Amino acid sequence: MARAVTNQRKLVVTVIAWSIGIAIFFPILWTFLTSFKTEAEAIASPPSFLFFEWTTENYTEVQSRSNYPLHFMNSVIISLGSTVLGLLIAIPAAWSMAFVPGKRTKDVLMWMLSTKMLPPVGVLIPIYLIFRDTGLLDTRTALVIVLTLINLPIIVWMLYTYFKEIPGEILEAARMDGATLWSEVIYVLTPMAVPGIASTLLLNVILAWNEAFWTLNLTAAKAAPLTAFIASYSSPEGLFYAKLSAASTMAIAPIVILGWFSQKQLVRGLTFGAVK
Amino acid sequence: MATAHSKTAARFMISPAVVLLLAWMIVPLAMTIYFSFLRYSLMSPGEETFAGWDNYRYFLTDPAFFSAFTNTIVLVVGVLLITVVLGIALANLLDQPMWGQGIVRILVIAPFFVMPTVSALVWKNMFMDPVNGLFAHAAKALGLQPFEFLTHAPLASIIMIVSWQWLPFATLILLTAMQSLDQEQLEAAEMDGASWWRRFFYIVLPHLSRAITVVVLIQTIFLLSVFAEILVTTNGGPGTASTNITYLVYAQSLLQFDVGGGSAGGIVAVILANIVAIFLMRMIGKNLEA
Amino acid sequence: MGNITLKQVTKHFGETVVIPPLDLSIEDGEFVVFVGPSGCGKSTLLRLIAGLEDVTSGLVEIDGADATTLPPAKRKLAMVFQSYALYPHMSVRKNIAFPLKMADMDPAEITRKVEGAASVLNLTDYMERRPGQLSGGQRQRVAIGRAIVREPEAFLFDEPLSNLDAALRVNMRLEITELHQSLKTTMIYVTHDQVEAMTMADKIVVLQAGNIEQVGSPMELYHKPANVFVGGFIGSPKMNIITGPEAEKLGSHTIGIRPEHTMVSKEQGTWKGKVGVSEHLGSDTFLRVHVEGMDLFTVRAEGDVDLHHGDEVYLTPVMDRLHRFDKDGLAVR
């Protein structure tokens, strides 16, 4: 039984936890606030926290001076594309490993995980040259292919842990109830698997959106997603804090919000079901 | 249930994933090994000649390699220490009854979803900048000289930024593990007269060991190839003070156009990662099988 | 008609023989219980009948026709699983309707049958809930509902009560027995609990290591166990098994004496012993008596008998209730 906790103790814990929480969140909050300042106010000393003149001109500025919509669309297409492609390859694989396990199933899974151990620099040059010679450098296609492959092991593992949890007795019950293989898949398996597939999709979109080795090395301008677009601010342009903040806010907002919804799946997904 | 027919179908369904991953691993890796024995510059294509072990000799004897090697280890170990220790502390704190627990969780987890280039740039400019950064403002307000983080402590600064990104992950996983701890075990220990401290050491920590193992494994995979944070903040400098192996190979091959040398570096990175991987898998194997 | 016959059925999992050649026939309308310790092959046997496992060799006949290779859905059997195996994403109504929908039955007819089953099982108020929102007993009823709407030739139950608490288990036991009496359909019920077997069955099949040890009505098994194993398995508390010189004196290698067939006296009797634990249940008292040269001996005495730990007692077996077994453990008649 949970014990009654004194309110005093609870208050102390609350204050400490909130302070730490806000401290950890502060850089994001500060970026968000700065994005509404003028450039002068953004570097003012002492800095103003909330009492400044709020303006949205940085957002319009970023939109008009750079090709923000293009990079945003690149991010969307690359992360969604690689995830969907990955799912199409991984669903049958995870499905058969979960429901028709063989002697080697565990080994295959471990091997897939071990491919994640291969450092990307080990294959950077050939991949770069292959894409250069096939004219795929700086294309969305190249990034979709690469991100599909690097995230495939995680997708397979996540789906496998979800499918594994569908109890075999339910499938047997459906068989006893006269369901054909087709109706078993449509009425029983799919509805039970959809939540798992959805969270796998969510987590992998997040991972692909934030991937910053291949996206930086394989793109220049045309196919650059937001990771690469933001990196271009590391030049002296970065000294325009308010604009940097506006661009950053736009780049991270969708994914931070998606991420909040997927915390639980994140734990399961990235730990391959080892921590629940 | 499992008939011969369904087994064949199962093989067929796994094969695309296996074939693709195998191709992804083997083809480029074989090419990298091949390149690593060539004198091959992107500036003068078509003039490749066999170089024997020269590329490896140059790469391994380059003082930059030694510092990249130590930097990689310091970076990985430093971030692991910070995130695991603070993660355990935070998980313990967040597991206590409080008001607004859900909101605090959301605040703490947020940095994990920030893309590396954004977090590096925000830290570099808006916090660590010696003129306009918040830390500089704070130092001036206290009458101190602003510290030039990225010039005088580049590696430590990067460790800080990367730790900020990964602390949420460690905390979230440890917190999840914490919540699966049977409260009755703690109460039993309390009845047995164990102090708070001993309960933590003898019950909570062993319970978390599996989660800690997972955190170490996953983070190591990602931390060995930290790249964007270095590219955006210091470009590996000053000198090679904040260059890790990943960045060194990148610089060698794509900035100096030395494919041969870069490939040799890539293979060295693969071998080092494998040593770490074997070590980790052993450790994990012990912890996960049980 | 729901008679089921197994002829020389075997089942191997790889090298392991789970069921050696086995014959069994189940008559239409019978309530048959497969009972035995865990791992005795009783669930495997049920799954062979259901068609969820293929037999390695032998024949399964349902209703006089060969069903050995028929898929589960075509065997006209319904099964209630240990975990209930309800579809978590469907309401109670949809769960019960599922087999009918799979049979492409007319929707109006489905509604009528589902409502009928629901009212028999007291589920009418829960029809729109999901299985996750139900108690264990209610889930059990939904699983049974899903089985009865199909009007199968036979029901198969795989340890259906093992996930319920003790009080609910007794209730559900009665409900299933009543269901059998009103439907008069063949039921095959697997359990490791001999009380369930004794109270519910028309016919009990005692299994050990894939072998049928004995088939018979509950009373036959109680009065005439074919061997030591059945004698020890049926009846509660367990039969006392005596071997060695004391058994020789009574004219057999092994002697079985049930606790309720032993008289207790403070003054005289065949064996002298000392009371260890005494369990006073009110209606009965069970005494664990230490007798020289024997294992702990259990006896049933009157509910208000005044015997306690450490008391000296004399035990006398009721001679015509003794069970005699030879050195292979088989009953001597």
Looking at the structure, tell me whether residues A15 and A148 fall in a common domain.
no
Mean of pLDDT over chain A = 84
Number of domains in chain B: 1
A150-169 residues touching B, CB cutoff 8 A: 152-153, 156, 168
From the list C182, C316, C325, C332, the residue with the least C-alpha distance to C254 is C325
Report the pLDDT value the prediction gives residue A4, as an integer from 0 to 100: 61
Q: What is the dihedral of CA C314, C317, C318, C319, to 10 degrees?
A: -130
Distance CA B123, CA A126 (A): 33
Task: Give tens-digit pLDDT for A228-252.
Answer: 888 887 776 556 888 888 889 988 9
Residue B46 has pLDDT above 80, yes or no: no
**Alpha-carbon torsion (B44, B50, B56, B58), positive or negative:** negative
**Alpha-carbon torsion (B74, B77, B80, B82), positive or negative:** negative
Angle between helices A68-99 and A140-164 (to 10 degrees): 40
From the list A185, A186, A195, the residue with the least C-alpha distance to A162 is A195
| Contact status of A95 with chain B (Cβ, < 8 Å) | yes
- Interface of chain C against chain B, CB under 8 Å? 52-54
| Contact status of A120 with chain B (Cβ, < 8 Å) | yes
| Contact status of B177 with chain A (Cβ, < 8 Å) | yes
Domain housing B224: 55-289
Whether residue B31 lies inside any domain: the answer is: no
Residue B273 has pLDDT above 60, yes or no: yes
pLDDT confidence of B62, banded at 50, 70, 90?
A: confident
**Hey, are the CB atoms on C85 and A177 less than 8 Å from each other?**
no
Kind plus residue range of the DSSP H or E element containing B49: strand B49-50
DSSP 3-state assignment of C21? strand
CATH number at residue A249: 1.10.3720.10
Task: Give tens-digit pLDDT for C62-102.
Answer: 988 898 888 888 888 899 998 888 888 889 999 999 999 88
Query: B24-52: buried (b, 16+ CB within 10 Å) or exposed (e) per residue?
Result: bbeebbebbbebbbbbbbbeeeeebeebe
Q: Which long-range contacts (CB under 8 A, 24 or more apart) does B132-140 make?
A: B132/A43, B132/A45, B132/A239, B132/A241, B134/A30, B134/A47, B137/A45, B137/A46, B137/A47, B140/A45
Angle between helices A140-164 and B4-36 (to 10 degrees): 140
Whether residue B113 lies inside any domain: the answer is: yes
pLDDT confidence of B82, banded at 50, 70, 90?
A: very high
Distance CA C300, CA C149 (A): 45
Question: What is the phi/psi pair of residue A50, to 5°?
Answer: -120, -20
Count of CB atoms within 10 A of residue A34's CB? 26
Last residue of a domain, one of A40, A59, A78: A59
Q: Which domains does chain C have, with CATH numbers?
A: 4-231 (3.40.50.300), 241-325 (2.40.50.140)
Question: What is the phi/psi pair of residue C69, to 5°?
Answer: -105, 5
Looking at the structure, tell me whether residues A244 and A220 fall in a common domain.
yes
Whether the CB-CB separation of A137 and A128 falls below 8 Å is answered with yes
Distance CA C292, CA C64 (A): 56
Distance CA B58, CA B265 (A): 10
Q: How many CB pairs under 8 A join B and C?
A: 3
| Residues in contact with A67: Cβ distance below 8 Å, sequence separation at least 6, in sequence order | none
Looking at the structure, tell me whether residues A165 and A117 fall in a common domain.
yes
Looking at the structure, tell me whether residues A44 and A13 fall in a common domain.
yes
Residue C324 has pLDDT above 50, yes or no: yes
Q: How many CA atoms lie within 13 A of B229 on its CB side?
A: 29
Q: Which of A43-47, C55-59, C197-201 has the lowest mean pLDDT?
A: A43-47
Residue C191 has pLDDT above 90, yes or no: yes
Looking at the structure, tell me whether residues A50 and A78 fall in a common domain.
no
Radius of gyration of chain B (CA): 24
* Token pair for A40: 């002068």
Which amino acid, residue B17?
A
**Hey, are the CB atoms on C102 and A178 less than 8 Å from each other?**
yes
Report the pLDDT value the prediction gives residue B284, as an integer from 0 to 100: 64
Q: Which of A18-32, A71-85, A200-214, B43-57 has the lowest mean pLDDT?
A: B43-57
Looking at the structure, tell me whether residues A128 and A264 fall in a common domain.
yes
Distances (CA, A) of A140 to A66, A224, B228: 19, 8, 19
Residue where the block lists tokens 């697997």: C190
Whether the CB-CB separation of C150 and C99 falls below 8 Å is answered with yes
**CA nearest A184 in C: which residue?**
C102
Report the pLDDT value the prediction gives residue B2, as an integer from 0 to 100: 44
Whether residue A232 lies inside any domain: the answer is: yes
Which residues of chain A neighbour C85 with C-beta distances below 8 Å? 167, 169-170, 172-173
Looking at the structure, tell me whether residues A27 and A147 fall in a common domain.
no
Q: What is the mean pLDDT of residues C208-236?
A: 91
Looking at the structure, tell me whether residues A86 and A172 fall in a common domain.
yes
Whether residue A140 lies inside any domain: the answer is: yes
Distance CA B124, CA B138 (A): 15
Q: Which of B145-149, C118-122, C157-161 has the lowest mean pLDDT?
A: B145-149
Task: Give tens-digit pLDDT for B1-22.
Answer: 445 556 777 778 888 888 998 8
* Token pair for C294: 């024997």
The length of chain C, given as a count of residues: 333
More confident residue, C199 or A6: C199
Which residues of chain C neighbour B1 with C-beta distances below 8 Å? 52-53
* Token pair for B74: 């310091």
Looking at the structure, tell me whether residues A53 and A104 fall in a common domain.
no
Report the pLDDT value the prediction gives residue A82, as an integer from 0 to 100: 95
From the list C326, C320, C270, the residue with the least C-alpha distance to C297 is C270
Looking at the structure, tell me whether residues A126 and A26 fall in a common domain.
no
Residue B99 has pLDDT above 70, yes or no: yes
Looking at the structure, tell me whether residues A87 and A162 fall in a common domain.
yes
pLDDT confidence of C219, banded at 50, 70, 90?
A: very high
Whether residue B30 lies inside any domain: the answer is: no
Distance CA A276, CA A161 (A): 11
CATH number at residue B221: 1.10.3720.10
Whether residue A133 lies inside any domain: the answer is: yes
**Hey, are the CB atoms on A169 and C77 less than 8 Å from each other?**
no
Q: What is the largest CA-CA distance in chain C?
A: 76
Whether the CB-CB separation of B194 and B108 falls below 8 Å is answered with no
Which amino acid, residue A268?
R
pLDDT confidence of C46, banded at 50, 70, 90?
A: very high
Give me the residue from A118, A153, A241 closest to B273, CB to CB. Answer: A118
Q: In terms of DSSP H, where are the helices of chain B?
A: 4-36, 54-61, 63-94, 101-109, 116-121, 134-141, 149-152, 154-179, 183-191, 196-199, 205-223, 228-233, 245-250, 259-289
Q: What is the mean pLDDT of residues C205-216?
A: 91
Number of domains in chain A: 2
The yes/no answer to whether this complex scores an ipTM above 0.90 is no
Domain housing A249: 67-270
Task: Give tens-digit pLDDT for B215-269.
Answer: 888 898 889 889 989 988 888 878 888 898 889 988 888 888 888 888 898 898 8
Residue B162 has pLDDT above 90, yes or no: yes
Distance CA B167, CA B175 (A): 12
Percent of chain C with pLDDT over 70: 100
Whether residue B8 lies inside any domain: the answer is: no
| Helix%, strand%, coil% for chain A, nearest 5 | 75, 0, 25
Whether the CB-CB separation of B97 and B183 falls below 8 Å is answered with no
From the list C326, C247, C313, C283, the residue with the least C-alpha distance to C298 is C313
pLDDT confidence of A273, banded at 50, 70, 90?
A: low
**Hey, are the CB atoms on A27 and B221 less than 8 Å from each other?**
no
Q: What is the mean pLDDT of residues B26-42?
A: 87
Chains with 3 or more CB pairs under 8 A to chain C: A, B
Task: Give tens-digit pLDDT for C263-311.
Answer: 988 888 888 899 989 898 888 999 999 988 788 899 998 888 888 888 8
Q: What is the mean pLDDT of residues A51-72?
A: 83
Distances (CA, A) of B90 to A109, B94, B167, B174, C28: 32, 6, 9, 9, 66
The two beta strands, C186-191 and C154-158, are parallel
C46-105 residues touching A, CB cutoff 8 A: 50, 52, 71-73, 77-79, 81-83, 85-90, 98-99, 102-103
Whether the CB-CB separation of B35 and A125 falls below 8 Å is answered with yes
**CA nearest B3 in C: which residue?**
C54
| Residues in contact with B157: Cβ distance below 8 Å, sequence separation at least 6, in sequence order | B123, B128, B149, B150, B233, B234, B242
Query: A194-229: buried (b, 16+ CB within 10 Å) or exposed (e) per residue?
Result: eebbebbbbbbbbbbbbbbbbbbbbbeeebbbbbbb
B216-275 residues touching A, CB cutoff 8 A: 218, 221, 224-225, 227-228, 231-233, 245-246, 249-250, 253-254, 259, 262-263, 265-267, 269-270, 273-274
Distance CA A113, CA A150 (A): 10
Looking at the structure, tell me whether residues A33 and A88 fall in a common domain.
no
Distance CA A142, CA A108 (A): 26
pLDDT confidence of C188, banded at 50, 70, 90?
A: very high
Q: In terms of DSSP H, where are the helices of A134-270?
A: 140-164, 168-176, 181-183, 190-210, 214-217, 226-231, 241-261, 263-270
Whether residue B43 lies inside any domain: the answer is: no
In the 3-class helix/strand/coil scheme, how is A54-71 assigned residue by residue? CCCHHHHHHHHHCCHHHH
In the 3-class helix/strand/coil scheme, how is C173-232 assigned residue by residue? HHHHHHHHHHHCCEEEEEECCHHHHHHHCCEEEEEECCEEEEEECHHHHHHCCCEHHHHH
Q: What is the DSSP string of C119-188?
A: HHTT-GGGTTS-GGGS-HHHHHHHHHHHHHTT--SEEEEESTTTTS-HHHHHHHHHHHHHHHHHH--EEE
**Hey, are the CB atoms on B210 and A274 less than 8 Å from each other?**
yes
The two beta strands, C16-26 and C4-13, are antiparallel
Which amino acid, residue B201?
F
Distance CA C183, CA C276 (A): 48
**Hey, are the CB atoms on B273 and A95 less than 8 Å from each other?**
no
Report the pLDDT value the prediction gives residue A1, as an integer from 0 to 100: 41
Residue B64 has pLDDT above 80, yes or no: yes
Whether residue A2 lies inside any domain: the answer is: no
Which residues of chain A neighbour B109 with C-beta distances below 8 Å? 259-260, 263
Report the pLDDT value the prediction gives residue B54, as an integer from 0 to 100: 85
Q: What is the mean pLDDT of residues B25-32?
A: 88
The length of chain B, given as a count of residues: 290
Report the pLDDT value the prediction gives residue A26, as an integer from 0 to 100: 93
Distances (CA, A) of C130 to B40, C75, C91, C93, C113: 66, 28, 4, 9, 19
